[in-house]
Amino acid sequence: MEDARLTGASSLIECRHSMQGFQPSVWGDYFVENKPMSPSELMKKVSQAYFQVKQWGTQGYVPNVKDHMQVSLKSSGYQLLSCCSYVGMMEIIPEEIFHWVKSFPEIVKAACIICRTMGDLTFDEHDHKVNHLAILMESYMEEYNYTKEEACKKLLEMVENAWKTLNQELLQLTNIPLSLVRPIINLSRVIELFYRDKDNYTHPQGTMRDNIKLVMLKPIFAKTGTMKVQHRTPLD
C-alpha cells in the first residue's frame, strides 16, 4: 500500500513538472490564478439548486412560488453562463465586470427568468413523471389554486415582463460595453428559439433539426453584383 502511495505521488510530481512549460489553459488554470474572476462559487450554487429541485420532486413536495423562484433562478445556470461567456477575454475585461455579473443585476435576473420559465412551460408530462422534478407551474397551481391553463398564462406574463426588463436594462447600461452585455441577451434569445412552442432542446426532431441542417450543412448563397457567390462549409 505504501509503495502504491509513493508511486502515485511520484507520478503526480512528474506530471506537474511536465506541465510547467505549458501556458495556462483558458478554462482552468486562468481561473485558478485569478480567483476573483473564477465562476466556481456560481457553479456550487447551480449544483445546490439542481439538488434542491430534484429533492423536492423526489419527495413530492411543492414549494411556494417565492421559494421556488429563489432556487430555480439559480438552477437556470444563466448567471454562471454569463460569467463563463467572458472566457478568453480576461485580458481586456476589468475584474469589476465579473463582480457585476456575480451581484445578480436585473438584466441577468431577467435572463434567468426567461430561461427557467420557458423551460417549465414546455416541460413534457412524461419527462416530469420519470425525472421527478419540481416545476414552477406546480407551485402556482398549488399556492393559488390555479388550473394548468391559468398557471401557464401567469408564466407567460412573467416571460413577457422579463423581456421588458431586459430591454430596459439594455438601454440603461451605458457604463458597460455592449460587447459584454450581448452574451446575456443572446442567452435569452436562444431559449426563445429552443422553447418557443415545445421542448426543441430535448426533442430536436422536426423544425429544430431542419434549422441545424440549414446552418451547419447547407451552402449559403450571397449575391455580389451580378455574380452569385457560393460559400461552402468544410462538410461540403
Residue 159, domain CATH: 1.10.600.10
The answer on 150 and 36 residing in a single domain is yes
Mean pLDDT of 19-32: 48
Please say if the pLDDT value at position 27 is more than 60: no
The structure's pTM equals 0.73
Maximum separation of any 2 CA atoms in the chain, in Å: 77
The answer on 174 and 73 residing in a single domain is yes
The answer on 222 and 114 residing in a single domain is no
Residues 94-143: pLDDT tens digits? 888 888 999 999 999 999 999 999 888 887 654 655 567 888 999 999 99
- 228 falls in which pLDDT band (50, 70, 90)? very low
42 contacts: CB under 8 Å, gap ≥ 6: 79, 80, 83, 102
- 14 falls in which pLDDT band (50, 70, 90)? very low
Per the document, the length of the chain is 236
CA dihedral 214, 217, 218, 221 (to 10 degrees): 100
Residues 197-223: pLDDT tens digits? 777 777 777 777 888 888 888 776 655
Residue 208 burial class via C-beta count within 10 angstroms: exposed 0-12, middle 13-18, buried 19 and up: middle
Report the domain count for the chain: 2
Domain containing residue 108: 28-198
Please say if the pLDDT value at position 25 is more than 80: no
The pLDDT assigned to 12 comes to 42
Select from 113, 116, 90, 86 the least CA-distant residue to 101. 86
The pLDDT assigned to 192 comes to 83
- 226 falls in which pLDDT band (50, 70, 90)? very low
- 35 falls in which pLDDT band (50, 70, 90)? low
The answer on 222 and 152 residing in a single domain is no
* Per-chain mean pLDDT for the chain: 78
The answer on 222 and 184 residing in a single domain is no
- What does the H/E/C string look like for the chain? CHHHHHHHHHHHHHHHHHHCCCCCCCCCHHHHHCHHHCCHHHHHHHHHHHHHHHHHHHHCCCCCHHHHHHHHHHHCCHHHHHHHCCCCCCCCCCHHHHHHHHCCCHHHHHHHHHHHHHHHHCCCHHHHHHHCCCCHHHHHHHHHCCCHHHHHHHHHHHHHHHHHHHHHHHHHCCCCCHHHHHHHHHHHHHHHHHHCCCCCCCCCCCHHHHHHHHHHCCCEEEEECCEEEEECCCCC
Distance CA 151, CA 9 (A): 57
148 contacts: CB under 8 Å, gap ≥ 6: 137, 141
144 within domain boundaries: yes
193 contacts: CB under 8 Å, gap ≥ 6: 200, 211
Contact indicator for 136, 157 with CB cutoff of 8 Å: no
The answer on 118 and 234 residing in a single domain is no
- 163 falls in which pLDDT band (50, 70, 90)? very high
15 within domain boundaries: no
The answer on 115 and 50 residing in a single domain is yes
